[in-house]
Structure 1
Amino acid sequence: MLFQVGGQGTRPTFFEMAAAQQLPTSLRAALTYSLGVLALRRPFLHKILDFDDEFFALLMMVLESHSLRTTDASFSESLYGLRRRSIKLVLNKSGSNVDSNDNLHRSCLGRRQKVLSVVFLVVLPYFKSKLHSMYNKEREARLQESLWGHDDGRLDDIDYFFHQGEISQTRVEFQNMQDSNMIRFKKKIMAIVGACYPWVHATNEGLSFAYQLLYLLDATGFFTLGLHALGIHVCRATGQELMDSSSRLSKIRSGELERLRGPPWLKSFQRALLNCVYTTLDYAQTGLIAAVFFFKMMEWWYQSAEERMSAPTVYPPPPPPPHPKVANDGIPLPPDRTICPLCSQKRVNPSVLAVSGFVFCYSCIFKYVSQYKRCPVTLLPASVEQIRRLFHDL
């Protein structure tokens, strides 16, 4: 096997690392969808959706900083029971050949590594998302120009509303010149992003694929380029490490509560506020996932109820009309339903006459209707256009 299916040892499997890496993207999509559903009833939430990149980046910065501080792992890695360990290479002074694993010493993350981890986990994905949106806008603008032609008078995202009676013509011209310079500068930036972003994105995706493939083949211990640049390995957390993390977190919080200064009422208020923050951060992981699951379940519930309410009522089919009566001067019907009334033989290529519903041989009824323009049984007026072939004889 190329990877450990059972998850034995301290090295995480490829599936664990991939799931931990994709969790923030899935969480963002779920939160955006949940806010979109809530915004249907609370319009003020549209302001959050207008700045979804900033909102999600701020939320993830708080969660990632707290998780790295308390568990030495990112938000998603801690959810899968993983921990980040710093790798330090120690040179062997004796010069004897020893196992390379003996030269790797794992230690807790330093402050610099935690800060850089937040940069790789939050800041860089934020800029990547903004560049992606800018590239999409530039591509749409180029497509629009190719379809409608270049319009020099088009002004994007610039407010041109002036009060003619309050602002002089000179100020208007100066403002127009500044706006034109700003528009040209923005177009240059968008052109640079449109030209460079595909190469940057392709390079990033290629490196990510290469590292993941090497990790899958057990050729490297780094799942991403960011972990390699920081010198960090992701390992499974042992039971002792989980207990140490809990005790260390308790000591940190106890120290923060002891450092409170001020009057007794102020210290009580600060202590209550810190306890609320601690509780919120402790249950942030399960709370976010539970909230997303709850919103998805409610959406399914209400969607099913709306479908049941909006579904059309199915009424029973109406009863068939009564059989047409046989005319006194018409051809009598044979007792056997498989016999043609015209030729008194077993029907060949059965066809029904729409005006009466009786079935004949196709050649018989075609000749009769072409000549007499009526049904041979009921004598109702008919035409050859009202003859229908049957592919299942009854």
Structure 2
Amino acid sequence: MAERGAHLTTAPADDRPSIFEVLAQDSLMGAVRPALQHAVKVLAESNPARYGLLWQWFDEIYTTLDLLLQHHFLSRTSASFSENFYSLKRVVTSGRGRPAHLGLLRKQHWRSLLLLALVPYLRAKLEKILARLRDEDDFSIQLPQSPWHRMYRAFLAAYPFVSMAWEGWVFCQQLLYVFGRTSRHSPLLWLAGVRLVHLTAQDIRNMDLKPSAPSSAPSQSVGQRLQRLLSTAVGGVALSLSSSLSLGVFFLQFLEWWYSSENQSTIKSLTSLPTPPPPLHLDQLQDQTGLAVNNICPLCHKVRANDTALATSGYVFCYRCVYMYVKAHQQCPLTGYPTELQHLIKIYSPEG
């Protein structure tokens, strides 16, 4: 049995990486995103006014930074950040490819870049929209139904089955890779037209050599100088990001433990939101109509209908008012604390 399974733990003769190497590099970037997301969430909860916008646009900011990072590594090492971390490179399927320091060909480069950065972004957005629609169904919210909206909901209803089919394809591809039936372990590599191989000693030597920057010739136009300056700036940002991730990757296991289910009680005690102070003399105040102010919705300024409280702040609103506001802004209308639809709590009075 040991002799028969030995080929699963060693690299094949054609310099293919083992299944453990390719799965490890796949999980590396998958661990970076939730770790950073949790750190941003803690910042947003501690100071909503300063970091709330960062939490609201986290997906877009992370995708932009990921595009810069992956573009830098694909151009300089012919590999993504995680692939280069495990000493792998991408080559064209039909051949050995050119040296890693020259980067991929233009077609394979842009395909790889889009599949590495945009596909995870779109998938995260679809999952959030699907979760929001499930919340609407749970709360029995009936919004106007246009033909486009019905097609939209039909697509989202089919998304779980599409996701299941995709995961099955990935599993089959990995199983075929283990037994040497295919040269790619992921459908994304097939779509990009590349495969993974180990870096050679010559590749490592070429990447370690730092070519001197060409002197700016006086004959260069202003546009060329600006383009060179922009390229240098983007490369510097990507390099700083790669250095930060290279240092932070060793702390990912600690961050995963930090917000794991076993440690949630500790996290809640450390990062729980402060209780906002109650309004002063609320019971004694009355508006011009003689109604008590504590029966008025802070959003529509009318008598509350279907009282609903926010778990993040404790304030009470009309259900429809606070639902539409939280759905649009993802925060409490009064305190600015990050809030999701699952934080809405209906209040049922005995006389109701």
Give TM class, smaller chain.
0.5 to 0.7
User: Would the aligned equivalents of 1:34 and 1:292 in 2 still touch at CA under 8 Å?
Assistant: no
1:143 CA drift (Å) = 2.7
> Conserved in 2, the CA contact under 8 Å of 1:207 and 1:225?
yes
Residues 2/277 of structure 1: CA separation in 2 closer, same or farther (3 Å cut): same
Distance apart, 1:118 and its partner CA: 0.8
Shift of 1:72: 0.4
Q: Which residue of 2 aligns with 1:114?
A: 109
* Greater C-alpha Rg: 1
Hey, what's the Cα distance between the residues in 2 that align with 1:229 and 1:256? 39
Distance 2:248 2:218 in 1: 34
1:31 corresponds to: 36
Q: Look up the match of 1:203.
A: 165
Cα distance, 1:65–1:260 mapped onto 2, change above 3 Å: farther
Q: 2:74 aligns with which of 52, 63, 68?
A: 68
Taking the aligned partners of 2:186 and 2:251, their CA distance within structure 1 comes to 33
Superposition map of 1:325-344 within 5 A: none
Q: Secondary structure of 1:221's partner?
A: coil
Q: Distance in 1 between matches of 2:166 and 2:237?
A: 35
The DSSP-based 3-state class of the residue aligned with 1:219 is coil
Partners of 1:193 and 1:133 in 2: how far apart? 14
Over the residues paired in the alignment, what is the CA RMSD in angstroms? 3.6
Could you give the per-residue CA deviations for residues 348-381 of structure 1, whole angstroms, max 9, x where no partner exists? Answer: xxxxxxxxxxxxxxxxxxxxxxxxxxxxxxxxxx
Change (3 A) 1:15 1:258: farther
**For the residues of structure 2 that align with 1:194 and 1:290, how far apart are their CA atoms?**
39
Q: CA deviation at 1:59?
A: 1.1
In structure 2, relative to structure 1, the CA distance for the partners of 1:2 and 1:117 (3 Å cut) is farther
Pairing 1:178-217 to 2, within 5 Å after superposition: 184=146, 187-217=149-179
Give structure 2 stretches of 5+ with no counterpart: 259-265, 271-352
Unmatched runs of 5 consecutive residues or more in structure 1:
89-103, 146-150, 156-179, 308-394
Instruction: Indicate how the Cα distance of structure 1 residues 79 and 47 shifts in structure 2: closer, same or farther if over 3 A, else same.
Output: same
Whole-Å separation in 2 of the counterparts to 1:27 and 1:129 = 14
Aligned-pair distance for 1:38?
2.9
Gap change, CA 1:240 and 1:257, over 3 Å in 2? farther
Report SS of the residue matched to 1:106.
Answer: coil
Tell me how far 1:66 sits from its aligned partner: 0.8
List per-residue Cα deviations over 1:13-57 (Å, max 9, x = no partner).
111111111212210011112222333444322212112221111
- Three-state SS of the structure 2 residue aligned to 1:222 is coil
Specify which of 128, 131, 136 is matched with residue 131 of structure 2.
136
The size of the alignment, in residue pairs, is: 249
Corresponding position of 2:349? none
Deviations 1:200-235 (A, max 9, x none): 111111111111111122221101112123331101
Name the TM-score, length of structure 2 as normaliser.
0.60
| Cα distance in structure 2, aligned partners of 1:186 and 1:49 | 29
Alpha-carbon contact 2:70-2:81 (below 8 Å) kept: yes
Which of 266, 272, 285 aligns to 2:242? It is 285
Asked if residue 45 in structure 1 is aligned to residue 51 in structure 2, the reply is: yes
Deviation at 1:184, TM superposition (A): 3.1
The residue type equivalent to 1:51 in the other structure is W
SS in 1 for 2:197: strand
* Structure 1 stretch displaced more, 6-15 or 30-39: 6-15
CA distance in 2, matches of 1:256, 1:15: 45
Q: Is the 8 A contact 2:177 2:183 kept in 1?
A: yes
2:255 matches 1:250:
no
SS of residue in 1 equivalent to 2:91: strand
